Amino acid sequence: MKIIRAFKVRGFILAAAFSAGLGFATSASAQARHSYLVDLNSKTVTDIGTLGGLSSYASGINDGGQVVGSSDTAGGTHAFITGPDGIGMRDLGTLGGTSSGAFGINEAGQVVGYSYLGGGMAAGGAYHAFITGPDGMGMRDLGTLGGSISSHAFGINDTGQVVGSSMSLTDQGGYNQHAFITSPNGMGMRDLGIVAGSYNEARGINDAGQAVGFYYGNTDAFSVHAFMTGPNGMGMRELDTLRGDASASGINDAGQVVGSAGGSVFSDQPGHAFITGPAGESMRDLGTLGGPGSYADYSYAFGINDVGQVVGTSSIGATCFACELRPISHAFITGPNGAGMIDLNSLVDLPGGVVLSSAAGINNMGQVIAIGIVPEPEIYALFLAGLALVGFVARRKKMGGEAFSLGQTSS
């Protein structure tokens, strides 16, 4: 099975280029963003709600349809878990501070993420990675690598091996960040030993314990490299790239890796989503949903299931004056082995005005988690014609020989 990686790409500077496309207008930051579970078999869309605040951000899903992420509450942002099929959001609480967030979940319902401990840095306050027991019960502090001050957990497999990153301060006032992996059930945090970089993160892990992520800070501090390990986090190797920088965000049990490559982090040029073959070989460009071939032409893959269906976000080749000519992003999905990128919005009937801007993960049952944004009422009408055209073009592409079975998965 596939454990979905996070929608939030903390620390990876290229993420700024992608997140810029999530808003419809200048006021987008004040708009509600809700998380939706899209069932590709029944074509139904479920709003999983919030913990009482304005927005929620789903980031992981297991084969039972349990969803995890973070949600606004009256007192801060908290990690959440749902029941099967995205029903019944429950607050996971914190490790003592005011905020937490969940990123990954396995088939037993063990959840991983981060939580603020409370207090300032001088008082020992920091963000620590956590793991829960089955069904999200009992948040436990995973601590940090020796000498580190903070940690975040991003992925978990079915044995409870956890991957993430742990940050330490340097004598020069900066910081180093090292990727880690644990033993089963989150025990025994170990540095992955990516000595080639002063900043690296592990973003995803499969059931064999193969971890993926990115690093930079080698002899060339201005390049970012995707990496993959062997089983149990042993033997890191750099993945190929389409061109330019590369970052890996997810891996399935066949060893197919997804992420983004071809851009340049430090020149603010985004890249394209990619998929590899088994064992991380032969990286392939997934393209975009219609970006115009300039700065606005980008895509990023966030999740993959065991048949190789990929989900993420992509520019659609449209801009709007109100959002300062930033590209508009739509969620995408592909067929098996990354074939035929299509706009997720064109496959389902959505609540009035909602546009799915990014898909964070997909399970083996044909269920996708996505983030939806509702335009302000006064600008909603301006987008209706454009959205109808996008849907028409996407459906034409699907009917023109790129059709695939979205709901079919392996057992």
* pLDDT, average across residues 9-15: 35
Instruction: Measure the CA–CA gap between 199 and 207, rounded to whole angstroms.
Output: 25
**Poorest-confidence range of 170-174, 258-262, 339-343?**
170-174
Alpha-carbon distances of 86 from 48, 69, 231, rounded to whole Å: 6, 11, 31
150 confidence band (pLDDT: 50, 70, 90): very high
Record the pTM: 0.83
CATH level 2 (architecture), domain 15-402: 7 Propeller (2.130)
CA diameter of the chain: 61
Instruction: Measure the CA–CA gap between 335 and 358, rounded to whole angstroms.
Output: 17
Q: Output the six-digit token pair for 94.
A: 């914190």
pLDDT of residue 4: 36
**Poorest-confidence range of 206-220, 316-330, 387-401?**
387-401
Instruction: Measure the CA–CA gap between 392 and 113, rounded to whole angstroms.
Output: 39
Q: Which of 253, 243, 241, 259 is nearest to 311 (CA)?
A: 259
In this predicted structure, the answer to whether residue 40 has a pLDDT above a threshold of 90 is yes
197 confidence band (pLDDT: 50, 70, 90): low
pLDDT of residue 316: 87
* pLDDT, average across residues 158-176: 83
Q: What is the pLDDT of residues 267-316, one digit of tens each?
A: 556 789 999 999 999 999 999 998 655 456 889 999 999 999 999 999 98
Q: Output the six-digit token pair for 85.
A: 């099929």
120 confidence band (pLDDT: 50, 70, 90): low
pLDDT of residue 17: 30
Looking from the CA of 326 toward its CB, the CA atoms found within 13 Å total 20
Q: What is the pLDDT of residues 199-252, one digit of tens each?
A: 899 999 999 999 999 988 655 556 888 999 999 999 999 998 887 889 999 999
pLDDT greater at residue 380 or residue 341: 341
Q: What is the pLDDT of residues 351-367, one digit of tens each?
A: 888 899 999 999 999 99
Q: What is the pLDDT of residues 121-149, one digit of tens each?
A: 444 558 999 999 999 999 999 999 987 88
**Poorest-confidence range of 41-55, 208-222, 312-326?**
312-326
SS3 of residue 89 by DSSP? coil
Q: Which of 149, 98, 144, 148 is nearest to 119 (CA)?
A: 98
Q: Which of 127, 130, 192 is nearest to 156 (CA)?
A: 130
In this predicted structure, the answer to whether residue 323 has a pLDDT above a threshold of 80 is no
In this predicted structure, the answer to whether residue 152 has a pLDDT above a threshold of 80 is yes
What does the angle CA 52 – CA 53 – CA 55 come to, to the nearest 5 degrees? 125
**Poorest-confidence range of 44-58, 183-197, 228-242?**
183-197
Q: Find out whether 100 and 94 touch, Cβ atoms under 8 Å.
A: yes
pLDDT greater at residue 29 or residue 195: 195
- In the DSSP assignment, the letter for residue 271 is -
Instruction: Measure the CA–CA gap between 139 and 115, rounded to whole angstroms.
Output: 10
pLDDT of residue 291: 60
* pLDDT, average across residues 388-401: 42
Element at 385 (helix H, strand E): helix 377-397
In this predicted structure, the answer to whether residue 41 has a pLDDT above a threshold of 50 is yes
What residues does each domain of the chain span?
15-402
Q: Rounded mean pLDDT of the chain?
A: 81
* pLDDT, average across residues 78-82: 98
Strand 246-251 with 237-238, pairing? unpaired
**CA 75: distance to chain centroid?**
25
pLDDT greater at residue 410 or residue 317: 317
pLDDT of residue 362: 98
